[in-house]
Structure 1
Amino acid sequence: MLPALLSLPSLVAFDIDSEGRLLIGYDGSGVRQVHEVAPDGTWRALTALSERVVAAKYVPGSRRVVVEHDTGGDERGQLSLLDLSEPGDLPTLQPLVHDAAYFHHLVTARPGRVLFTTNRRNDVDFDLVALDLGTGTQTTLYDVGGYLATVEPSPDDRWVGVIRAGGPANSGHVLLVETSTGRITDVTAYEDETCALELSWLPDSTGLLVSSDAGRDRIAVFRYDVADGSTTELVTDAESDLIGWASPSGQHLLVARSADGAVTLALHSTEGERLTPIELPPGGCAALLVESAPHWSPDGGQLVITYSSPAEPPYVFRYAVATGETVAVRAPEAAELPAGLRQPSSHRVASFDGEQVPVFVYRPESGGDGSAVIVVHGGPEWHAGLVFNPLVAGLVAEGHTVLVPNVRGSAGYGKRWYALDDRELRLDSVRDLAALHAWLPEIGVDQSRVALWGGSYGGYMVLAGLAFQPELWAAGVDIVGIASLVTFLENTSAYRRVVREREYGYLDRDREFLELASPLNRVDAIEAPLFVIHGANDPRVPLSEAEQVVAALAKRGVTSELLVYPDEGHGLAKRKNKLDAYPRAFAFLREQLGRE
């Protein structure tokens, strides 16, 4: 069943133009490419690269599209231009901003120009640059430093709103940059560590909408008034995170409500009054990531939404504001969903200090054979939600009970929760794994047959569990994980070191604790077999993290295996590599958990 699950196509909405045409990321070829879907449902392939397309935007007032793509998962985005009016089926990819030594990330396209961020000035800081498509002239709009997580220009182009990463949980300061003078106003001036996720403008450029947990535990939608600098709460919810996007027409505000893994959508007035829900299938999520966030049409009459659930891979919906009609946009080649895909149950598990750890439990239809796999998400300030994960579905089909927790440090459950693992509290999140292990008999799991699985920070959690709790775990699968917080910070990309030190601790003053919390420094305690997957071009967690832990285990005679993919980065993006790596990881778990 696993190959069938891994081969299911997924879609992501990139953009919608004034005629209702969509730009869709689609991985039917095994590597995500950009396609255009006409209002009548006709599909047209726009790229056929050997590498993935990261993002794509229409250039308003033209039939041109700007595309961001990288090489081998290295995340060094390069920008190219497509002219959709040229004859032929596949338009020519014209280089626009290409320098493989640096990262370039597409922000948006305006009539005749493109905005992008780049770290080419000093490797560390990201500048905001406007490129004139007519003359090729590049104008720097912001070069004051930091990692720019979100950038949104005002409709009149007088201002650019910027979220600059800062604070231990990649929290953000919201800055207002005046494009003509470069003058910067700190919109937030936060006294506490605050998360800011999304920006959007009112159509007359008088107000900037900010989704933030400033002064609150939960994220709410605020309006910042440009003229007087005042901030007003528009939409709040004491129990849920809210994210808002103003429509270009100024008539509506789209609000996403995130609660215990599910994301629902509703239209509000721009004063905050709730008007009507947007009906999507129950039990899933509207996607909120920057690359897959909802998009308004230029006239505010349509929305394009990426949606997923545990029982169905990501696909796209069109929503018509006037009628409330929702139309699904699915892959052009039909793919049959395997039978038996499961929805999880939601639980709270008491941890060592009485904190309640949210966890989703996926049970095999047969009830399982007593084995379990705990799948830990990355981040750490990430969130395991009600989305499709072919690996979770595959593990359940194998007969394992699968637990997907949001351990402390996860987003989605309030500011207090995501701050509970900061720096010297790092190992408290590992103690949450022990609490989950202790709870397993309540759901019929044999505690001697439990494995850990995780990617990125989740990979760190796998290694930390095996190193700090060696008596609990029968095996581990580590995908692009961190073995040593010290060597990770020393060797990661320069810009990421600056951002990630705020979460993990600073090399120059927290080294003793970073060493203490590093699984590599407790490798002599690891007894459980380990399976490791890594991309050779990973710019976030270097391959050396995987190599050093596997070498240390081999020296001790502990069973371990390392798979390295030369054309991948921070995780596996290409289907051919997934079809090679993950069946081998599943076979490893079958052997270690006694299912051979």
Structure 2
Amino acid sequence: MRLTALLLSTALLAPPALAQSAAVERVEVGNRVSENLPEVPAELVERLDRYQNTRGASLGGWLPDGSVLVSTRFGETNQVHRVASPLGMREQLTFYREPLSAVTPAPGRNAFVFGKDVGGSEFWQLFWFDVDTREVTMLTDGGRSQNTTPLFSHDGKQLAWASTARNGTDYDLWVRDMATGQSRIVLQEGGLWSPMDFSPDGQRLLVLKYVSINESYPGELDLATGKLRLFPVEGGKSAFNAFRYAPDGRSVFYVSDEGREFMTLRHHDPQGGEPRLVSGNIPWNVTGLEIAPDGRHLAYAINEDGISRLRVLALPEQRQIRLPDLPIGVIGNFSFSPDGRSLAVTLNSATSPSDVYVYDLGTPALARWTRSEVGGLDASRFRAPELVRFPTFDEVDGKPRTIPAFYYRPEGDGPFPVVISIHGGPEAQALPTFNPTTQFLLEELKVAVLVPNVRGSAGYGKTFLQLDNGFLRKDSVKDIGALLDWIATRPELDANRVGVSGGSYGGYMVLASMVDYADRIRAGIDVVGISHFGTFLKNTEDYRRDLRRAEYGDERIPEMKAFHDEIAPLNNAHRITSPLFVAQGYNDPRVPWTEAEQIVKAVRGNGGEVWYLMFMDEGHGFRKKTNSDYFGAASILFWQQHLLAE
């Protein structure tokens, strides 16, 4: 369905007053469709321009010559570049209108695989890129399938990945022989499976079935016979996020929360008895795991209250080695060089975009390989947040439960207007990463920003993670009410000028907060948000439905359907009385555009003010710079008109 059909369907959705009102006339400019949006002043665009021209660089991996691949944006979208030395030039290798994902170098080859979709549809296809010839070959079916998690065998002769090509719902595992070009399904069990690691001889594959953030099932697949052996899981159900063969090809390193609150690094040698806790003395989640190609080192990252720590162990004795400290920040992906002597790391912080750093493990020494641009701004004026905790409505061990939040405070005494930014997921975690819009609000508009990790967020143990599941969904909204109470106790904050913003599940939280706290929230911005869990589950892509039922509840159960109806912002739209800005990508496979259309119709039908913005070439969020810039400018204008006004 393209724009003509969209307009027809919207006319059917719209009440007569909406269809006849000039104030909600649809305006089409290229791939942008809008309703009720004022023209963005040129002066505001100019003020924003430097902030919107910041950019970062994220690690893609290593090539055999010791250069690294990075993902960065010089034009409209993130593309692959090569950097050959510390702070060396970035040589752009790919030039597509669409952003790339899943960049995976091929061991022993001057080549890599990447994923690319069209218009944010997330039907990623995998492509082979030969760095020497610059030739590109599509490896997957090119159809309406999702192809993810590409993984090479250690010798580069095989490529494994997960694909929905067979039926559009289940993620089967495929393996391609890179010499012959022949691909075959090696695992067809139903559900969401991912390849985790090839054995050193390439004959076995560690695999993982993901049910929810609380439940995964690891196993080993014999590639010759197709026999799947599932590993025992302590307690019958636990979460896993990494699985790697040890260099001996027999034992494994993995990360799970079996019998513990946090995701813990473990080592299991089947000849040595029970699994051994490697990070058992650390009361925080392990978030990543890599083993060097030469088998001499293992690296893992820890999330300590939103700040990352990197540890490297010498193998096989698992002795921690001392390394120079990284700057304080959030670690993204990391990867050992082909010779195992270096370790590259992506690092982001609240005051600096993502950049790549490289450890020389022999020295040891740390070198910065990229220095990303900040639009000509004075980076010393960027402000880092304070980690605060505010009491909420329930108790733990007889004391009020506290909720963590990152508090960005402008310079000065206040009282400052406030934007509460709510993350999506819901099982994600807000981290103190660089956000140019936040820095603009702080510096240019003197608006404070609070970024809470309400119950249900990852990073604080599995008990906290499960506090919003099923019929507990609205308890996370009560945490926003508690944050509003906390704001009212702060003399430097203006409790009469509070806005909320969020995307995806965070968009639902915006709508739900505007329903429940209409008299305390001045305005809200909902980006690709859920307006009714029942309609969302009906219309989301088939391959996501069971995954989301595990979190939000199964709408086929009458009691859960009734609960979804009760809490739906769509069914309570008459209680949204503050101005609302709804933004959506038309190709969104996760939260369909109909979720946006129906809440816009409902709020307007009750006399509410709504700005509406749709990009026809975007999906679950805005990844093209022109679109992102326009949305950013429109958002600032919305805050100026509805939050900053006295």
TM range (shorter): over 0.9
Q: For residue 353 of structure 2, what is the amino acid of its counterpart?
A: P
Provide Cα deviations, 1:461-491, integer angstroms capped at 9, x if missing partner. Answer: 0011011222221111011110000111111
- What residue in structure 2 maps to residue 259 of structure 1? 304
Structure 1 segments unaligned to the other structure (5+ residues):
288-292
Q: How does 1:340-379 map to 2 (within 5 A)?
A: 340-353=381-394, 354-379=400-425
Q: Measured at CA, do residues 591 and 495 of structure 1 come closer, stay the same or move farther in structure 2, by a change above 3 Å? A: same
Aligned partners of 2:50 and 2:481: how far apart in 1? 33
Aligned partners of 1:561 and 1:383: how far apart in 2? 28
- What residue in structure 1 maps to residue 73 of structure 2? 27
Aligned partners of 1:475 and 1:149: how far apart in 2? 41
- What residue in structure 1 maps to residue 109 of structure 2? 62
Q: For residue 176 of structure 1, what is the amino acid of its counterpart?
A: E
Does the aligned pair in 1 maintain the 2:176–2:182 contact within 8 Å? yes
Tell me, yes or no, if structure 1 residue 80 matches structure 2 residue 127.
Answer: yes
Shift of residue 176 of structure 1?
1.9
Q: How does 1:258-337 map to 2 (within 5 A)?
A: 258-270=303-315, 271-282=317-328, 284-287=329-332, 293-330=333-370, 335-337=375-377
- What residue in structure 1 maps to residue 606 of structure 2? 556
Match of 1:326, SS state, is strand
Tell me, yes or no, if structure 1 residue 172 matches structure 2 residue 216.
Answer: yes
- What residue in structure 1 maps to residue 9 of structure 2? none
- What residue in structure 2 maps to residue 433 of structure 1? 480
Aligned partners of 1:246 and 1:361: how far apart in 2? 36
Q: TM-score, normalised by structure 2?
A: 0.87
Does the aligned pair in 2 maintain the 1:437–1:447 contact within 8 Å? yes
Shift of residue 148 of structure 1?
2.8
The percent of aligned pairs where both chains have the same amino acid is 32
Q: For residue 140 of structure 2, what is the amino acid of its counterpart?
A: V
- What residue in structure 1 maps to residue 147 of structure 2? 104
Aligned partners of 1:538 and 1:82: how far apart in 2? 27
Tell me, yes or no, if structure 1 residue 184 matches structure 2 residue 228.
Answer: yes
More off after superposition, 178-187 vs 216-225: 178-187
Which residue, 60, 72, 75 being the options, matches 1:14?
60
More off after superposition, 58-67 vs 36-45: 36-45
Shift of residue 235 of structure 1?
1.7
Shift of residue 78 of structure 1?
1.0
Q: For residue 475 of structure 1, what is the amino acid of its counterpart?
A: A
- What residue in structure 1 maps to residue 180 of structure 2? 135
Q: Which protein, 1 or 2, shows the higher relative CO under an 8 Å CA cutoff with sep ≥ 6? A: 2
Q: For residue 172 of structure 1, what is the amino acid of its counterpart?
A: S
Tell me, yes or no, if structure 1 residue 527 matches structure 2 residue 527.
Answer: no
More off after superposition, 371-380 vs 115-124: 115-124
Aligned partners of 2:566 and 2:378: how far apart in 1? 45
Match of 1:61, SS state, is coil
Match of 1:489, SS state, is helix
Does the aligned pair in 1 maintain the 2:255–2:265 contact within 8 Å? yes
Does the aligned pair in 2 maintain the 1:114–1:133 contact within 8 Å? yes
Match of 1:235, SS state, is coil
Q: Measured at CA, do residues 175 and 472 of structure 1 come closer, stay the same or move farther in structure 2, by a change above 3 Å? A: farther
Aligned partners of 2:581 and 2:183: how far apart in 1? 47
List 4+ stretches of structure 1 deviating above 6 A.
Answer: none
Aligned partners of 1:217 and 1:465: how far apart in 2? 29
Match of 1:204, SS state, is coil
Provide Cα deviations, 1:376-426, integer angstroms capped at 9, x if missing partner. Answer: 111111011121122222222221110001100000111111111111111
Does the aligned pair in 2 maintain the 1:56–1:68 contact within 8 Å? yes
Q: For residue 307 of structure 1, what is the amino acid of its counterpart?
A: L
Provide Cα deviations, 1:402-455, integer angstroms capped at 9, x if missing partner. Answer: 000110000011111111111111100000000000000333222221011101
Does the aligned pair in 2 maintain the 1:51–1:70 contact within 8 Å? yes
Shift of residue 190 of structure 1?
4.1
- What residue in structure 2 maps to residue 220 of structure 1? 264
Q: Measured at CA, do residues 237 and 425 of structure 1 come closer, stay the same or move farther in structure 2, by a change above 3 Å? A: farther
Does the aligned pair in 1 maintain the 2:107–2:338 contact within 8 Å? no
- What residue in structure 1 maps to residue 51 of structure 2? 5
Does the aligned pair in 2 maintain the 1:265–1:278 contact within 8 Å? no
- What residue in structure 2 maps to residue 498 of structure 1? 546
More off after superposition, 194-203 vs 580-589: 194-203
Does the aligned pair in 2 maintain the 1:434–1:472 contact within 8 Å? no
Tell me, yes or no, if structure 1 residue 408 matches structure 2 residue 455.
Answer: yes
Tell me, yes or no, if structure 1 residue 567 matches structure 2 residue 617.
Answer: yes
Does the aligned pair in 1 maintain the 2:50–2:376 contact within 8 Å? no
Aligned partners of 1:331 and 1:348: how far apart in 2? 33
Aligned partners of 2:576 and 2:513: how far apart in 1? 9
Shift of residue 245 of structure 1?
2.5
Q: Measured at CA, do residues 521 and 334 of structure 1 come closer, stay the same or move farther in structure 2, by a change above 3 Å? A: closer
Q: How does 1:446-461 map to 2 (within 5 A)?
A: 446-461=494-509
Q: Measured at CA, do residues 6 and 193 of structure 1 come closer, stay the same or move farther in structure 2, by a change above 3 Å? A: farther
Q: TM-score, normalised by structure 1?
A: 0.94
- What residue in structure 2 maps to residue 113 of structure 1? 158
Provide Cα deviations, 1:355-389, integer angstroms capped at 9, x if missing partner. Answer: 11001100011244421000011111101112112
Provide Cα deviations, 1:133-192, integer angstroms capped at 9, x if missing partner. Answer: 33221122211122135622222223222222114x353222222222222222242436
Does the aligned pair in 2 maintain the 1:23–1:57 contact within 8 Å? no
- What residue in structure 1 maps to residue 21 of structure 2? none
Which residue, 534, 543, 568 being the options, matches 1:518?
568
Q: For residue 392 of structure 2, what is the amino acid of its counterpart?
A: S
- What residue in structure 2 maps to residue 290 of structure 1? none
Q: For residue 613 of structure 2, what is the amino acid of its counterpart?
A: L
Q: For residue 115 of structure 2, what is the amino acid of its counterpart?
A: E
Asked which structure has the greater CA Rg, the reply is 2
